[in-house]
């Protein structure tokens, strides 16, 4: 192998390695949306049907409030002693998040949810 061929082979290896790093690199976004994450400890007397109704009320509310873009209602792993429920709402932006608290649909949700909730922890997150 000539020196020229060895150099070309080395450049090819370096190029393939670099391309592999770029292809294998995870890409992610940092959206300006707001995530409203709520974990719930239900009252002892709350039935499974009532809990399901409260989580369904999250979806009903989301369908009525402008600026809610996504909803999650199935907690997979909920931490905290006695906490077993969770839901998340994604708001388009801070303004949509700020407006939802006074929306009549939020008040309707609370009428279903609050009588069943013993305690909750809320986390509001954005970039």
Q: Is a pLDDT exceeding 70 seen at residue 6?
A: no
27-36 mean pLDDT: 95
Contact 57, 70 (CB under 8 A): no
The reply to whether 3 falls in a domain is: no
The reply to whether 116 falls in a domain is: yes
| Residues 6+ positions from 61 with CB-CB distance below 8 Å | 68, 105, 106, 108, 109
Q: Domain tally for the chain?
A: 1
Give the Cα separation of 110 and 49 in Å (integer): 17
Instruction: Output the pLDDT for position 124.
Output: 98
Instruction: Write down the residue that tokens 């239900």 correspond to.
Output: 42
Strand 117-125 relative to strand 68-72, pairing: unpaired
Q: Is a pLDDT exceeding 80 seen at residue 52?
A: yes
Domain interval for residue 51: 34-125
The reply to whether 56 falls in a domain is: yes
Collapse the DSSP code of 124 into the 3-class scheme (helix H, G, I; strand E, B; otherwise coil) and give the result. strand
Higher-confidence residue of 91 and 15: namely 91
Q: Is a pLDDT exceeding 80 seen at residue 1?
A: no
Q: Is a pLDDT exceeding 60 seen at residue 8?
A: no
Q: Is a pLDDT exceeding 90 seen at residue 79?
A: yes
Beta strands in 14-92 (DSSP E): 34-42, 68-72, 85-91
The reply to whether 20 falls in a domain is: no
CATH code at position 76: 3.30.70.100
């Amino acid at each position: 192998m000539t020196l020229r061929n060895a150099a070309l082979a080395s450049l090819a290896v370096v190029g393939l390695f670099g391309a592999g790093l770029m292809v294998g690199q995870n890409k992610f976004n940092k959206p300006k949306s707001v995530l409203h994450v709520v974990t719930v400890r239900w009252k002892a007397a709350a039935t499974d049907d009532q809990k399901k109704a409260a989580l369904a009320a999250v979806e009903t509310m989301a369908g009525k409030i402008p600026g809610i873009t996504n909803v999650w209602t199935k907690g997979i792993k909920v931490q905290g002693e006695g906490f077993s429920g969770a839901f998340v709402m994604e708001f388009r932006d801070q303004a949509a998040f700020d407006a939802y608290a006074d929306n009549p649909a939020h008040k309707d949700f609370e009428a279903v949810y609050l009588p069943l909730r013993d305690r909750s922890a809320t986390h509001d997150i954005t970039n």
